[in-house]
Structure 1
């Protein structure tokens, strides 16, 4: 895994900023009710953000978290590092870097060793409800957020330009998280407005072929988690992915070679204490650039570790 100086500086600044402020969270939330770190850096599940605010900070406190994630499928690998600050259980600022190893796909494209690297800066604000305090009512915790994503320059720049895809974009989302504490059940729904292709790893939008491919799409995301006990949760996630890049691919003579499909996982999260959590998941990311992978489903593992205070 490679750590760029810019990401290390960003993550360090986030953590140090929280550490230098008064009222740091020492006790904070119930285990696992603050979620884990998603692939984009925001607190939630592995694939999707929740309305919860990351870290152990409660009202009047400031806390932080840092995480490292690795995932692998039949044809691809993904490494992620990131950090976040939670402020008064009301606001969250996050940063993450994704390093996507294209493996044989890069070789097939004449670009052996191709890595797609994406930096993500996120902001989330809780606007209504409290997942724990409102657990005995039907009121969910609701948050709105945005994620600014930039894809680093690679040998695919010319291809993305030809497809009419940009290398930066902004995702907007609203999440509602409902904790049924008596039933040990958490349910989250997120609605994301995005132009991202494969979460941004293949750029944003695509004007080639028309069809409104440079417009925002609304994509639903769902998570369900069951607390087996105070330290262990199991659950599943579903994340709808836009498939507008396929139209541009067809216009470029690639048939369905750039098709994308929805992402899913089944996970188990373990928190031995309030500062450490580990998440292991089986993921199904559908097809990713099926033109070079014989349309194989990208199924595999996801492993993430988080340190929070």
Structure 2
């Protein structure tokens, strides 16, 4: 019962923390790491790209330090919008804890189509989900040495509006846990004198559309692959692409892979801005869901 009450409380705290960090003028507590090396915050709250978690540990905290990051993210495609408020804490460049509150809304036109198809049983669609994450660096280093940085992560997700997914689409549950392993490496002077970051993630999941359409279904949980590549033009600018395979567990609706092409700006260790074009493919009854992604992040 406590977990069912926590989301609204924690969401308010996250949003308050974002506003507070925006007003803070004190020096950054943790600033030992190189600019841009923690990446951004993805839609489930972990450090990485927009769609894919990387092996990096969030915040600029290095050994003997801790740091925090907060982000607001908006994804808008033809028939849906996804708003995400997230907070993470990094400790010793070794451990990461994160929380994200996601709100998925169906557009007016699609909501009307859903209402007609369901005889008014679902006149609108708003799905709220909480994601509690943890990550630990197991081996290697992002920059130094021959081995990539390798991290193990987990994400426990609670969908608070899973009736449509469970009663109509065939999902089995309103909660689930993802386990993933990521490997990331930054190659210096790799391409025309520019630094190149490569990341590969393997995830074990039963989440339909990140869990926004419930968990489980007609098929068992699956291993899926996720990939990112980013070219750093200089200390402040990077561009790249991401690809995220999906488990596609429901016979009633097809779940396509997600992809994006992004530009990231790191003006200082305090602030990160990411903009992207996202292709989310088919979501529930609506296909060709393409649009924009924007994320604003504050670090402390």
Question: Under a length normalisation based on structure 2, what TM-score does the superposition of the two structures give?
Answer: 0.87
Does residue 298 (structure 1) correspond to residue 289 (structure 2)? The answer is yes
Structure 1 residue 12: Cα displacement:
6.6
Residue 110 of structure 2 aligns with which residue? Answer: 105
CA contact (8 A) 2:17 2:70 kept: no
1:249-270 per-residue CA deviation (whole Å, 9 max, x = no partner) reads 1xxxxxxxx1110000000000
Alignment RMSD: 2.1
Does residue 220 (structure 1) correspond to residue 231 (structure 2)? The answer is no
Specify every segment of 5 or more residues in structure 2 that has no aligned partner in the other structure, as ranges: 1-6, 21-27, 116-121
Structure 1 residue 15: Cα displacement:
12
State the number of aligned residues.
276
Identify the match of residue 85 of structure 1 among 89, 101, 105: 89
Structure 1 residue 114: Cα displacement:
1.8
Distance 1:124 1:163 in 2: 31
Residue 74 of structure 2 aligns with which residue? Answer: 70
Residue 201 of structure 2 aligns with which residue? Answer: 190
CA contact (8 A) 1:11 1:83 kept: no
After TM superposition, the structure 1 = structure 2 runs for residues 20-99 of structure 1, keeping only pairs within 5 Å, are: 25-99=29-103
Structure 1 residue 56: Cα displacement:
0.7
Residue 230 of structure 1 aligns with which residue? Answer: 235
Identify the match of residue 184 of structure 2 among 166, 177, 184: 177
Give the direction of change, closer, same or farther, for the CA distance of 1:157–1:269 in structure 2 (3 Å limit).
closer
After TM superposition, the structure 1 = structure 2 runs for residues 129-278 of structure 1, keeping only pairs within 5 Å, are: 129-134=140-145, 137=146, 139-153=147-161, 156=164, 159=167, 163-183=170-190, 184-207=195-218, 213=219, 215-245=220-250, 247=251, 249=252, 258-278=253-273
Local SS of the residue matching 1:109: helix
1:15-34 per-residue CA deviation (whole Å, 9 max, x = no partner) reads 99xxxxxxx84322111111
Specify every segment of 5 or more residues in structure 1 that has no aligned partner in the other structure, as ranges: 17-23, 208-212, 250-257
Distance 2:14 2:126 in 1: 21
Structure 1 residue 11: Cα displacement:
7.2
Question: Under a length normalisation based on structure 1, what TM-score does the superposition of the two structures give?
Answer: 0.84
